[in-house]
């Protein structure tokens, strides 16, 4: 029955010689929620979506709100959060309030990640995994609501004047 749930990726049940039953459940990676055609969806790490009905609405408030991405951008963006070896950890996903599309002249596929603390993080899809370093520069920030750039070239986080991203 549990495998019938769309949010369950895999279940392994093993009965040990001692009689102990070991159950391992692997859940789908949930990136966030978005609305389209007056319906609410969960966006999964593989880029697929699951429509949410009224009874499930309470649980979706825990996930980031996804902005107006095209379907193709939404898939690429979602996959960027769960790349093998470069997956954004759950503790950092839980700090995200919103994920919005962002463009710069040098890259049309970027994200603006609004954190719950008010900081805004800007990143290309390829460097989203650097969000795992998010807490490192926080003690050195000079003010609230900073703009932060995840830089793939140097694999580092830098602060920028927010005017640079407008």
Q: Tell whether the model's pLDDT for residue 55 goes beyond 70.
A: no
- Please name every residue paired with 24 in a beta bridge, in sequence order, or none if there are none: 12
What's the CA gap between 37 and 43, in Å, rounded? 15
* pLDDT over 70 percentage in the chain: 97
Q: What confidence tier does 145 reach under pLDDT thresholds 50, 70, 90?
A: confident
Q: What confidence tier does 48 reach under pLDDT thresholds 50, 70, 90?
A: very high
Q: What is the pLDDT of residues 104-121, one digit of tens each?
A: 888 888 999 999 999 999
Are the CB atoms for 133 and 157 separated by under 8 Å? yes
Average the pLDDT over 14-19 and give the result: 90
- Please state, as a whole number, how many other Cβ atoms lie within 10 Å of the Cβ of residue 93: 20
Which of 41, 129, 33 has its CA nearest to residue 79?
129
Are the CB atoms for 7 and 43 separated by under 8 Å? no
For the entire predicted model, the pTM comes to 0.86
């Amino acid at each position: 029955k549990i495998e019938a749930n769309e949010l369950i990726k895999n279940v392994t049940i093993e009965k040990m010689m001692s009689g102990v039953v070991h159950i391992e459940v692997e859940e789908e990676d949930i990136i966030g929620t978005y609305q389209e055609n007056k319906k609410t969806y969960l966006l999964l790490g593989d880029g697929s979506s699951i429509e949410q009905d009224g009874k499930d609405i309470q649980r979706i408030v825990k996930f980031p709100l996804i902005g107006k991405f095209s379907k193709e951008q939404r898939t690429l963006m979602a996959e960027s959060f769960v790349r093998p070896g470069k997956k954004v950890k759950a503790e950092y996903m839980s700090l995200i309030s919103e994920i919005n599309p962002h463009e710069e002249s040098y890259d049309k596929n970027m994200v603006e990640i609004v954190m719950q603390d008010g900081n805004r993080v800007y990143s290309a899809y390829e460097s989203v995994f650097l969000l795992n370093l998010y807490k490192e520069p926080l003690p050195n920030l000079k003010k609230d609501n900073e703009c932060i750039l995840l830089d793939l070239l140097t694999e580092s986080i830098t602060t920028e004047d927010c005017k640079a991203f407008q």
